[in-house]
Structure 1
């Protein structure tokens, strides 16, 4: 996987080096420990660079083979795994989920009324499409003052230190209220984890085995897994955050942010060093820059990479299409999602001007809790990835800085 002259695929080499400047400003000011970046166009890698430290305390630098927690960047991989079964005709998007996972048949929906909240039967069945698009009503635990949020807090308090199987985990989720009627709103949550359980039901295999056989192994993603085995433990990066705890303001200039970092999760003793029963398709994978590039390039190639077809061309197009009705847009208030719709496991750029960022209509991708981010831009035939290990990701715009540096370097 060699890099080529940027000019050969329409980039200005000198302007592309602004990626180095963009990341270095964060690292040199002690607001980011390190990161790895990659840019490819027309099937050729034009930029791949590691910056800063994987582990400050031991002086271990970020390297091309550093293993990072990709958290929610696991979701597109899970979506692709599930879509391989769609290609085989094992389900339709609008099939009721309860036909495969019966525990969701009677999950009530929380509805706001004049007197408070009511729990009512599903007006229309929760479908498989709702899982892909986060319109299921399945949520993450929160402090919201709603029946669904209260039920989640109570249900999972007793399992805080437990390692459930995916089957047991989804059984619990199916016993809880939905945050709204399926298909009527967007709420980030454990929908993609339930999609992983659907893969188990339809294949008769453990989810991680099905993912490896259908996606990871054909693509040669040798370092992507739900844990880091002992022989690779020395390659796992630590996770850092601002020295001052608390939420990070959106759109705050870099110079106004506190300098200094603290350890959020060290490499040694990380829970990722032990194999766990719960294989979280929504946030449980680790990976490397080269591995994730193989996945992203497969999507850009409309489902194929190095002679291995993972998805049909039309299936990738369906994945990268907006599935939300106009009335549901904008689907949340995150600045990174302005001007976007949502496809099958990825956000999709619909309006460049409304996004306030450089890009192309139809570009799609997703990010992760440690500020990781990837996107695929079919119009420009490019993909780019940035892998820091910095939490929280909210209000931390290093990925947006890199995206600007990528697009401003295009010459044709």
Structure 2
């Protein structure tokens, strides 16, 4: 726990040697003051991570911040896990879970730009299994008032669920059918399509497997697996060499330990091998939560979004498409209906849904400093990122701890924004 590795952009020769690696891989760097940030105040971000590690809240933390297209902070604190004392590294691989969703959304919008679908098309045009899917209402299955649409998959308003509610019949059915344990997307689609929707499509926000369904649609429309589409159309063009559904054997030693917070013993525990997700020969390419990545790789993806669809000379999306996907796509009525989707998984009061991202609509209502138009998402094992177009700032925090009760995400926002010395 005492092993710390800190790399913060300071006026030291070793720092510039370290950051030259980013330049070679496409990420640019800058002295913080060049982009309106304070060197001294950025130290507080590293100290925040160190404090969390020292208190035993996390085994290890990696944080990364960029502003105006330049990396100004990268820090690794702690160790790989309670079962692995080797020092955390800045290129450690993390299970990013739902931070996969924005990647899937971008992939789908690439096909949208090619004219492969329209946002308000019924999903069954691309996944026929969902034609005439029923809705669970008052203890019985009834016809849907309208088919779920492609747009609703991006925004969790299609009426689907996740299986997280133990007393709901539809969620119970998801668990009985082991929807999340499907061997591939074909089996996943077959299982979900045979189960009723939990809500009438388009009536409320409800966090769900909808982005996994969107990933399946990407497969059908593109004619290749989601794994291949991501690799050839997103990861390779952006230089993301450490992002995968399946981790190459030679890189498995860089994967952080799989851990959870045990509230009874108040300790970090390692997930038993029998319960760990497979990242070696997994055929279920989960567009909702299947990727492993690094801070630097995800920064490239996020920077592409902030740049309006372009990174390192490669155009992934049109700037107008990025502008559109970043807007609030929920009506006030639908947003209000989804105010309490799940405990801990609801949208914040000042937040709504863009296409595949959460978007800040009212910064003053958020639990931490934010900007209007900021887009973000998080992962089940505690990972978090946000993109702030107003301040031209991206921040990423990677940890590997399920059920963590700590407010790292909010503390990081305070630490990142207090380091700004000049507003954009």
Structure 1 length-normalised TM: 0.90
CA 1:283/1:199 → structure 2, altered by over 3 Å: closer, same or farther?
A: same
- For residue 153 of structure 1, the aligned residue among 171, 175, 179 is 175
The yes-or-no answer on 1:92 pairing with 2:111 is no
* 8 Å Cα contact 2:63/2:76 also seen in 1: yes
- Superposed CA RMSD in Å reads 1.9
Alignment CA distance shift 1:301-1:48 (3 Å):
same
Quote the residue 2:40 is aligned against. Answer: 14
- Aligned with 1:17: secondary structure? helix
Q: Is the aligned partner of 1:407 residue 2:413?
A: no
Deviation at 1:332, TM superposition (A): 3.4
Matched, 1:277 2:298: no
3-state DSSP of counterpart to 1:241: strand
The 1:245–1:227 alpha-carbon spacing in structure 2 relative to 1, beyond 3 Å, is: farther
Alignment of 1:173-192 (within 5 A): 173-192=192-211
Contact between 1:230 and 1:273, CA under 8 Å: does it hold in 2? no
- Candidates 129, 135, 142, aligned match of 2:151: 129
1:272 to partner: Cα distance? 3.6
Q: Aligned equivalents of 2:370 and 2:378: distance in 1?
A: 16
Q: 1:336 Cα shift?
A: 6.4
Cα deviation 1:185-244 (Å, max 9, x = unaligned): 111111011111101111111111111111111001111000111101110100223243
Q: Distance in 1 between matches of 2:90 and 2:303?
A: 17
The 3 A distance-change label for structure 1 pair 22 and 338 is farther
Query: What is the CA–CA distance in structure 2 between the aligned matches of 1:142 and 1:359, rounded to whole Å?
Result: 29
* Counterparts of 1:369 and 1:396, CA distance in 2: 13
Q: Which of 190, 194, 203 is the aligned partner of 2:213?
A: 194
**Is residue 322–residue 348 contact of structure 1 (8 Å, CA) maintained in 2?**
yes
Q: 1:163 to 1:185 in 2, by over 3 A?
A: closer
User: CA separation in 1, counterparts of 2:287 and 2:368?
Assistant: 29
Q: How does 1:217-228 map to 2 (within 5 A)?
A: 217-228=236-247
Residues 367 and 410 in structure 2, CA contact (< 8 A), matched pair in contact too: no
Query: Could you tell me how far apart the structure 1 residues matched to 2:174 and 2:347 are?
Result: 27
1:131–1:192 Cα contact (<8 Å) kept: yes
The 1-side partners of 2:81 and 2:261 are apart by 15
Change in CA separation of 1:339 and 1:201 when aligned onto 2, cut-off 3 Å: same
Aligned-partner Cα distance in 2 for 1:277–1:328: 35
Q: 1:303 — aligned with what?
A: 309
Unaligned runs of 5+ in 1: 247-257
Corresponding residue for residue 3 of structure 2 = none
Question: 3-state DSSP class of the match of 1:374?
Answer: strand
Partner in structure 2 of residue 388 of structure 1: 399
SS in 2 for 1:357: coil
Unaligned 5+ segments in structure 2 are 1-21, 24-28
Q: Which residue of 1 aligns with 2:329?
A: 323
In the alignment, the residues of structure 1 paired with residue 175 and residue 59 of structure 2 have an alpha-carbon distance, to the nearest angstrom, of 33
Q: Deviations over 1:43-96 (max 9, x none)?
A: 100000111111333321111111110011011011111110001111110000
User: What's 1:255 paired with?
Assistant: none
Task: Give runs of aligned pairs for residues 338-357 of structure 1, distance below 5 A.
Answer: 338-357=349-368
Aligned counterparts of 1:202 and 1:40: Cα–Cα separation in 2? 35
Q: Is the 8 A contact 1:139 1:188 kept in 2?
A: yes
TM-superposition CA deviations, 1:258-304 (whole Å, max 9, x none): 4x3211267x9954442211111111100011100000000000100
1:164 CA drift (Å): 1.7
Q: Deviations over 1:141-178 (max 9, x none)?
A: 1344333223323322xx78x65220121111111100
How many residues align? The count is 391
Q: Secondary structure at the match of 2:259?
A: strand
Q: 2:59 maps to what in 1? A: 33
